[in-house]
Amino acid sequence: MSLERTSRRRRLLWLAGGTAVIIIAVLVRGTMHRASAADQKKDSVQAAPVGALTALALDQKLPLYLTGIGTVQAALSVTVKARVDGQLLKVAYKEGQTVKEGDLLAQIDPDPYQAQLDAAAAQQAKDEANYANSLVDLQRYDDLMKQDSIAKQTYDTQVATVAQLKATVGVDRAQVANARVQLNYTAIRSPIAGVVGIRLVDPGNIVHAADTNGLVVVNQVDPISLIFTLPEDAFQRVSNAIRASGAKPLQVLAYGREDNALLGTGELLLINNQIDTTTGTVQLKASFPNPQHRLWPGQYVNVHVVTGIEQVVTIPAAAVQRGANGLYAYVVKPDGTAALQPIQVALEQDGLAVVQSGIAAGTRVVVDGQFRLRPGVKVVEQQGGAAPAPPPGGKPS
């Protein structure tokens, strides 16, 4: 009985072990089959081409510039004031009118000053007559003196009288000139060519030379000035560009703040003689021809200072990606596959990136669709064709 039970137990153990081996083999085979299917699916995904928008890196001449924000100012601004006291009879301009240098702006009552001029002229005529008579007497005394017919003292007195009357005539002439100047001041004329502002004093008022407000402000708006600032680290670049340009001033462009429309092209006049240490900026001034009055005093504008035109390699700025190891771009190799290319960018402007190194002209770069790419993936152009690089000098950003 003992042997039979032992033999039966062994057969059961062998049966159980064989069953376990079969189950394990089935499980392993199923797992391997699923892994193989997943790998095949993964391989098929990796092999699928990816659509992307691409553009060529271009070798081109590109104007390089610095950007800032500026305020338009009148090239000249004059507060016109009365130089004599009197009643303001009339205003000879319309507010906002463009005037030339010397145009009549206002008229002060000239009658009191005309009377002063007439009185001074009459006094001059009287003293000139006395002076002329004294010269005649001196001539007679001179003849008598030669004949020893008069005393030396009498002759000397006449010589002194002539000199005194001559000086008096000189004073009279100065008083006439002064009275004429005062009379001329009653006609108030524009000292510069420009645009008159709002009238500050109405006709009928008494004005004084000591008044501080003045009668009107005249601003010269053609040409017009622009004051703007740049970061202090841009100073060397501008200074070097000025030296490189020689006698030719640097070009300055003014754009509208809202629509970025070009408002004018001018020339850089100067860099201020010190850097503002509180703001870390340097102030610059430019002059613009402004015949159409597109620039106006007090207007805020975007400013571009062109520091030079260089031959550079450019790619669309959208192609530049930023990673943990710096800047890179996806390039399309000759076989049509994507490759990750580290690059160095000098600057970005007008939607372009100026490439210092990493990409040569003629290389095709991916502009849109980078998030779907991996190195080695086949790249196909998206519907609509390749995106060309923006042309230089396009609409500023």
Same domain for 175 and 151 = yes
Single out the residue in 177, 207, 237 at which a domain terminates: 207
Same domain for 126 and 244 = no
pLDDT of residue 142: 80
Cα–Cα distance for residue pair 259/395, rounded to 1 Å: 10
Is-contact 253 303, C-beta < 8 A?
yes
Average pLDDT in the chain: 86
Q: Which residues contact 73 (CB under 8 A, 6 or more apart)?
A: 224, 225, 226, 227, 297, 298
**Percent residues over pLDDT 70 in the chain:** 84
Residue 269: pLDDT over 70: yes
Q: In the numeric block, which tokens belong to residue 139?
A: 């001539």
Same domain for 262 and 202 = no
- Is 174 within the bounds of a domain? yes
Which CATH number covers residue 157? Answer: 2.40.50.100
Same domain for 280 and 339 = no
Is-contact 267 225, C-beta < 8 A?
no
- DSSP for 322-343, please give it: EETTEEEEEEE-TTSBEEEEE-
Domain that holds residue 326: 50-63+311-381
Single out the residue in 292, 310, 328 at which a domain terminates: 310
Same domain for 316 and 251 = no
Tally of domains in the chain: 4
- Is 386 within the bounds of a domain? no
- DSSP for 32-77, please give it: HHHHHHHHHHHHHHHHS-EEEEEEE-EEEEEEEEEEEEEEEEEEEE
Residue 158: pLDDT over 90: no
Which pLDDT band holds residue 383 (cuts at 50, 70, 90)?
Answer: low
Of residues 28 and 363, more confidence is placed in 363
- Is 253 within the bounds of a domain? yes
> What value does the mean pLDDT take over residues 190-213?
94
Cα–Cα distance for residue pair 347/392, rounded to 1 Å: 14
Single out the residue in 288, 310, 332 at which a domain terminates: 310
pLDDT of residue 202: 95
Which pLDDT band holds residue 286 (cuts at 50, 70, 90)?
Answer: very high
Same domain for 123 and 190 = yes
Cα–Cα distance for residue pair 274/269, rounded to 1 Å: 15
For residue 369, the tally of other CB atoms under 10 A from its CB is 17
- Is 394 within the bounds of a domain? no
Buried b / exposed e over 93-106, threshold 16 CB at 10 Å, is beeeeebeeeeebb
- Is 152 within the bounds of a domain? yes
- Is 44 within the bounds of a domain? no
Which pLDDT band holds residue 51 (cuts at 50, 70, 90)?
Answer: confident
β-strand partners of 101? none
Same domain for 194 and 175 = yes
Which CATH number covers residue 294? Answer: 2.40.30.170
Of residues 63 and 395, more confidence is placed in 63
* DSSP assignment letter at 317: G
Angle subtended at Cα 311 by Cα 365 and Cα 343, rounded to the nearest 5 degrees: 35
Residue 247: pLDDT over 90: no
Same domain for 200 and 152 = yes
- Is 242 within the bounds of a domain? yes
- Is 215 within the bounds of a domain? no
